[in-house]
Each structure stands twice: as structure tokens, then as C-alpha cells.
Amino acid sequence: MDALILIGSLLVLLAFGFPVAFAVGFSAFIGAWWIDLPLEAVIIQITNGINKFSLLTIPFFILAGAIMAEGGIARRLVNFAYIFVGFIRGGLSLVNIVASTFFGAISGSSIADTASIGSVMIPEMEAKGYPRDFATAVTASGSVQAVLTPPSHNSVIYSLATGGVVTISSLFVAGIFPGLLLGLCLMIMCVGFARKRGYPKGERVPFKEAVKIFFNAFWGLFTIVIILGGILSGVFTATESAAIACLWAFFVTMFIYRDFKWNQLHILLFRTIKTVTIVMVLIAFAAGFGAVMTFMQLPQIITEFFTSISSNKYVILMCINILLLLIGTLMDMAPIILILTPVLLPVTTALGVDPVHFGMIMMLNLGTGLITPPVGSVLFVASAVGKQKIEQVVRAMLPFYCLLFAVLMLITYIPAISLWLPHVMGVM
């Protein structure tokens, strides 16, 4: 009954249109009142939820990504990607995916990836004979890489939701191979479509032009070196790398590329502060919600429920995947991570699943939800950028959904894809 009151009140508040963060907070207070838990205890948990130094990683990475997204990096990354794959049949779709790989490793945001790369690639692909709905579907699917590869904001949130069990550095390193695997599989599918449908191929870029393009894109690409190189070498922590990446992004955008005007900087900062505020309020209330769940012993109840379904580890993992895929279509990614991680992590830990591995499973599940109706935020952004109806994009996305599910199965049942590199790099 306790769990029904807590979860039921959350669903009712969401149904009445409450913002997710406040719905989580109010339901936490309702649950605490129901079990006679002092409200002061919930408030203490809420304040403790955001009183963490590692949380600085989120605003720094969000700001760095926003600066680079507005500073002309997207076009330079597209040109750089064209050098490697533009000459292949269906090359522009491959350029789209490779550019998303690079941009996701700078922004850490699927929405920023879709908006920036899509605004460049979708019109260009259409001009070269690709259907606009296909170009939009490629853009949206490619952006899912950003939730896996560093500096994924959602990996930072997952690390916090585990209560410090998993480090941000280990998640960043663990996401590299799954992100690259997803990108590679998307490219193979696009090559198949190109051969079947007769999509055009481009021309090779002359060496001198390629060198010029490389040096033009180098300054933006060096952000990836700062983030990954600094963390892996141990020169600085994930939080410190976020701050340095932010300073570097500002320097490159305002003094090297100079595509962004100084008089627009305050608008960008305001937009970033608004985004960060929403995230921080959500993290704070989710901490209170998680505390109430713990007092209700909800994680133990959920663990017993899953283990009663089957004693087979792989069957339970499939059930969890289906659960996450379904919930991911109904809510945004961050609140699901904050609410469900404390519930599901004990289940997977009892099965012998490494928490870092489970983080990658959760990221890809919920990343797929971002491009799935009815509440897929990235899907809506892609439709707006591509100027296509949601229905048209979803039809074009059907093969990509199947591919994402196949990659999810690989990541779920082959732990080494996520865990080999962190073990080799010594971050676990």
C-alpha cells in the first residue's frame, strides 16, 4: 500500500500536468506523510541531494556544449567527417552519423546534437536526393550516441543516482565502445539502404583541402582530447575537465571561430542557467523521493518481485530492458534515471551485473526512448528541424528502432563491450 501511495501520487500529479521535478517532490512529501516520516527528514535529503561537489560537472558540460553548438562547430565537424566517408555511396548519411559521433563527444547532449547537426545535414541530404524523412531519422538515431559517449550528462546523473557506487570517470570510459558500436551499426545499415535505394556518393576531398578542413575543425575537436585525455591520464577529475572544457569552448568560439556574437552571449548563458536549474531541482527532489522509497523498502520489494519471476539472470535482464524501454517512451531521461536507479540497481547487483555495465544498459534503453513517441524529446526536435510530421519520421525510424534494439541486446548480454576498456584503463 505504501508503494501504491508513493507511485500513485506521482502518476496522478503527472497526469494533471505538473512539471516532473515538482511532481516527484510533492509525491515524496505525500509518501512521507503516509508512513509518518517527519517532513524535515525529507527536506534534509533534498538539500543533501544537491550539496555535492561532483554536481558541478553538469553545468560546466552543459555550458561547454551550448557554446560549441552555437559557435559554428557543427559545420566544421560535418566537413571533417566528409573527408573519411563522404565518397562512399550513401556518404552523406555516413557523414551525418560520424559528425554526430564527434559532436556528441563535445556536447554530451542528444538534443544539441540533433539540432546542430540536423540543421546542417538534413537540408544538404535532401538537396543531394535523400528523402527528407530518412535524413531526419538518421539524424535522430545518430544522436543517441551522445547519451553513451563522454561527456554524457545522463551518465553523470546515473553516477549520482548510484550514491557514488559508480564513478563518473568509469562511466565515461565505459561508454566509448558502446557509442562507437552504435555508430558503426548505423553506418552499416545506411550503406545497405544506399545500395538498395541508389543513394548518391560524393567525391573525394583533395589532400590540400582535407588538411585545411582538419585544421579548421581541430580547435573544436581538441575539446574531446581535453575531456577524455585529462580524465584518462589522471591530470584532472571529471569535474575539473568539465570546467577546463568550458573555458576552452569559450576561447575557441569567441576568439578563433568568431561565428558567435558577443551581444548574444547573455542569451546563451540565460538559456544554460535555466536548463541547469531545472536539472538541479529535479536532482534535489529525486533525492527526497529516493529516501522515501528506501524507508518504504521499495528496492527490496522490487528485487523480490523480479527474482520471483525467474531465477535466470538473462530473463530478468530482458524484463528490465522491456520495462525501461516502455517507461522511456513516457518520461524524460533524467527523472527516470534518478527514480529507477535506486530501485533497479539492487536487482541487477543481486544478479551479478556490474553497476557500470547496468549504467550502459540503462543509457541505451532510455536514449532510445528519447527518439520514440509519444514523449520523445529528441524525436520532436528532429521533426522540427527536419520540418517533417512526427508520423513520417516514425515510419522512417522503424528500421532504426530494430537496429537500436539489436545493439541493446549486444550491450546487455556481452558485458565486455562496456567493461573491457575501463578495466584496461584502470578506472574501475
Residue 19 pLDDT: 84
Residue 415 pLDDT: 96
C-alpha pair distances (Å), 133 with each of 147, 361, 391 = 23, 28, 10
Q: Rounded to two decimals, what is the model's pTM?
A: 0.89
Task: Tell me the pLDDT of the chain averaged across its residues.
Answer: 88
Total domains in the chain come to 1
Using a pLDDT cut of 90, give the percent of the chain over it.
36
Residue 176 pLDDT: 94
For residue 337, the enclosing domain spans 2-425
pLDDT digits (tens, 9 = 90+) for 138-147: 999 999 999 9
pLDDT average, residue stretch 266-291: 85
Is pLDDT above 80 for 292? yes
Closest CA to 342 of 161, 159, 157: 161
| 363 vs 170: CA distance, rounded Å | 14
| 219 vs 245: CA distance, rounded Å | 12
Residue 190 pLDDT: 95
| 284 vs 90: CA distance, rounded Å | 46
| 408 vs 318: CA distance, rounded Å | 10
pLDDT band at residue 370 under the 50/70/90 scheme: very high
Residue 399 pLDDT: 96
Residue 147 pLDDT: 94
C-alpha pair distances (Å), 149 with each of 85, 176, 256 = 21, 5, 26
Is pLDDT above 80 for 2? no
pLDDT digits (tens, 9 = 90+) for 312-337: 899 999 999 999 998 888 888 888 89
